[in-house]
Amino acid sequence: MSNLVPINPPNFRQLPPVWEIKQPFQVGADGAIAFNRDPVAWAQDHILALLLTSPGERVMRPTYGAGMYRRVFETDNPVIEQQIISIVQAGVATWEPNVTLNEIQFVPQLDYSGIMELQIAFSIGGAPQLHTVTISLGGTGIEVSG
């Protein structure tokens, strides 16, 4: 056994045992990188990242992503919707093994506004509690409510 004591600089900030950098990237009031301790927020961020990333966009993970932006102006076709659901389910199963998707549902847009709205119900780990997030994608931006 060694009696060495680690030497930390005076501005050293001990990180909490479980944390993830806040999305989008932010600097906190203390001048350090802001982090988030909520696993539900982590899962929502990871699902959103998977939806918005196009396959091939990440160099070291060329199969990562569902490429939802290029599907925004697709017609309301049940076959296309089922293909998108399958892509999202496969992506979450591959890249987010701690998140279980319970339901993905498209919300019909009666005004043909070019907005794709998905309601996703998921659970984290083996917990039975369901969480939902609604993601609205359009040609001008994205809106997330959870």
pLDDT at position 62, please?
92
pLDDT at position 143: 77
> Would you state the pLDDT for residue 86?
92
Local mean pLDDT, 10-residue blocks, the chain (146 residues): 58 59 82 84 89 90 88 77 90 90 87 80 88 84 76
3-state secondary structure the chain: CCCCCCCCCCCCCCCCCCCEECCCCCECCCCCECEECCHHHHHHHHHHHHHHCCCCCCCCCCCCCCCHHHHCCCCCCHHHHHHHHHHHHHHHHHHCCCEEEEEEEEECCCCCCCCEEEEEEEEECCCCCCEEEEEEEECCEEEEEC
Segments making up each domain of the chain, as ranges: 20-145
Give the right CATH number for 20-145 from 3.10.450.40, 3.40.640.10, 3.40.50.300, 1.10.10.10: 3.10.450.40
